[in-house]
Amino acid sequence: MLGIEGTAHTVGVGIVDSAFNICADARATFNPVSGGIHPRDASLHISENLPKMIETAFYQSGIDPSEINAISFSQGPGLSPCLRSTATGARALSLALDKPLIGINHALAHIELGVTICNIEDPLTLYVSGGNTQLTAYANHRYHIFGETQDIAIGNMIDTVARAIGYDYALAGPIIEKEAKLGKKFLFLPYSVKGTSVAYSGLTTAAIRAKIEFNEDPKDIAYSIQEVAFAMLAEITEKAFIVSGRKKILLTGGVAANKRLKEMLTIVAEENGGMLEIVPIKLAGDNGVMIAMAGLKFWKAGKYVINISESFVKPKWRIDDIFIPW
């Protein structure tokens, strides 16, 4: 199974065999010179790099294109221009190889990769990335959302604050984590939890004001936003963990690489008689492998093979709208 990821800044192509072993993982990430990700520029990045990533994936795997069973692609959610560029490439490859097409939900792919790679069943999943912050659990052939962000995703918050206080956008996550260790002063920032959901816009604004209006040390701002933002996630995860009755927590998405978040969630899991499982860092961010793995699961279940005419993109496609056939 070949999978194509292209929902935002990363274009990736992955290939897995019938036993879910990874045969190829080719990626190219768009890093803007300044500011955040402009959808048009990111979509051009995908269009320009997708052919090379496909070629690289086949080279890495040593597999002949004719051996691929189907083409799976990230149909949504994501930035519309990026999704359209990805879908166009997937359709072209599907037609060129005369292979079926499978549309994959990006969030579901992150979760299914974690479940498969970590070899766990029925976890409560905390999915944290630049575009998503969700708590989900599987029941009755659907992923149900226990909680989520009410405004912006945690990764978006970290990127925005990092850029505003003078750090490199392309390395925002690692830089904030590194600088936070050097922070000495805790700043009282908005802590917004509503049941099992969070809101980060107030925290974002306050953190930026701390630098612009009060000239606070960026290291202290980095330290403070990590402590506050991750404590919010720990609180809602613990609530959902207890209510759901799950025994394991799965942490996935690009922000899963942060060690401080891992520390907090490990405490949550262990104090409630459970365990924390974390997707390997190299697979935590966006990649084609996760799309291929989800595609293979649907392929084996005989579901969600679509015609070209049905391959329109779904920028706001929610994971709880999908019937899971396994």
What does the alpha-carbon distance between residue 191 and residue 33 come to, in Å, rounded to a whole number? 32
Beta-strand relationship, 305-306 and 142-148: unpaired
Q: Per-residue pLDDT tens for 265-286? A: 999 999 999 999 999 999 999 9
Q: What is the pLDDT of residue 37?
A: 81
Does 170 score more than 90 pLDDT?
no
Q: Per-residue pLDDT tens for 175-186? A: 999 999 999 999
Q: What element of type H or E holds 249?
A: strand 248-252
**Omega before 32 within 30 of 0, i.e. cis:** no
Global pTM reads: 0.95
Q: What is the pLDDT of residue 326?
A: 87
What does the alpha-carbon distance between residue 92 and residue 307 come to, in Å, rounded to a whole number? 12
Q: Per-residue pLDDT tens for 210-256? A: 999 999 999 999 999 999 999 999 999 999 999 999 999 999 999 99
Q: What is the pLDDT of residue 304?
A: 83
Q: What is the pLDDT of residue 257?
A: 94
Q: What is the pLDDT of residue 264?
A: 98
Does 35 score more than 80 pLDDT?
no
Contact present, 277 and 59 (Cβ < 8 Å): no
Does 36 score more than 90 pLDDT?
no
Alpha helical stretches, state H, the chain: 39-61, 80-97, 106-118, 154-164, 172-180, 201-212, 218-244, 259-271, 281-284, 288-301
Q: What is the pLDDT of residue 220?
A: 98
Q: Per-residue pLDDT tens for 102-147? A: 999 999 999 999 999 999 999 999 999 999 999 999 999 999 999 9
Query: Which tokens is 302 given?
Result: 């005989």
What does the alpha-carbon distance between residue 23 and residue 1 come to, in Å, rounded to a whole number? 10
Does 171 score more than 80 pLDDT?
no
Q: What is the mean pLDDT of the chain?
A: 96
> Percent of the chain at pLDDT above 90?
94
User: Which domains, ranges and CATH numbers included, belong to the chain?
Assistant: 2-110+284-321 (3.30.420.40), 122-281 (3.30.420.40)
Does 303 score more than 90 pLDDT?
no
Q: How confident is the model at residue 31 (pLDDT cuts 50, 70, 90)?
A: confident
Does 95 score more than 90 pLDDT?
yes
Does 198 score more than 90 pLDDT?
yes
Quick count: other Cβ atoms within 10 Å of Cβ 65?
A: 12
What does the alpha-carbon distance between residue 124 and residue 147 come to, in Å, rounded to a whole number? 11
Does 166 score more than 80 pLDDT?
yes
Residue with tokens 């104090």, as numbered in its chain? 271
Q: What is the pLDDT of residue 67?
A: 96
